[in-house]
Amino acid sequence: MTDSDAAWDRRRASPTRPHPTTGREVPDETARAPVLRCVNLRPAVWPEYQNLGGISGERAALGVSAAPEAVVAKGKKSPWPATMPEQVQAVRAILTASPSPATADAIAKSFTRAPRARIAEILETLAALGTAREVEEGRFIGQ
């Protein structure tokens, strides 16, 4: 047994067995690790700032509803931006303001003459960059 093998055995402290050909001590692949059992399991209690199922207290105080269409179509429609960076910024702003997943059609309702195909393309790009996440087919939420 070499020094490196001895060091390995001391660090691991795992069961060993003699190798059938060389007779050297090797780790025993049939050894079992002890299974730990959890007792007194309870459901997790989430703090308000990690509200996974609804509108946060901050958004509720601002009067934001749970429907994305209500958020994006609320108020006066904005003109569709002319340049690509402005378009991405506008879509991202609406997406992060929405409390629930939004579709390209819902986002397009907040602009005048907004191409739905371009909005869908921007949403997919934001998802690829990690700025948005697709939670269902065609429905995105801001990160």
Look up the CATH number of the domain holding residue 111.
1.10.10
pLDDT score for 51: 62
Same domain, 71 and 132: yes
pLDDT in tens, the chain (143 residues): 454 555 444 555 678 889 999 999 988 888 777 777 878 878 777 676 666 555 555 555 555 444 444 444 456 788 898 899 899 999 998 888 887 888 888 898 888 888 899 999 999 999 888 888 888 888 888 87
Claim to verify: residue 77 and residue 127 sit in the same structural domain: yes
- The closest of 137, 129, 91, 133 to 111, measured between CA atoms, is 91
Q: Both tokens of residue 84?
A: 């690509």
At how many degrees (to 10) do helices 84-97 and 116-129 cross? 80
Same domain, yes or no: 74 and 35 = no
Residues 65 and 35 placed together within one structural domain of the fold: no
25 in a structural domain: yes
Together in a domain, 34 and 64: no
The pair of three-digit structure tokens given for residue 11, joined into one six-digit string: 């660090």
The tokens describing 67, both together, are 């429907």
Q: How many domains, the chain?
A: 2
In a domain, 6, yes or no: yes
Residue 14 located in a structural domain: yes
55: burial class by Cβ within 10 Å (0-12, 13-18, 19+)?
middle
Q: Which pLDDT belongs to residue 66? A: 47
Q: What is the pLDDT of residue 75?
A: 63
Q: Are residues 72 and 122 in the same domain?
A: yes
Per DSSP, the three-state class of 62 is coil
Q: Are residues 15 and 72 in the same domain?
A: no
Domain extent, residue 86, equals 56-142
Q: In this structure, are 31 and 83 located in the same domain?
A: no
Whether 65 and 27 map to the same domain: the answer is: no
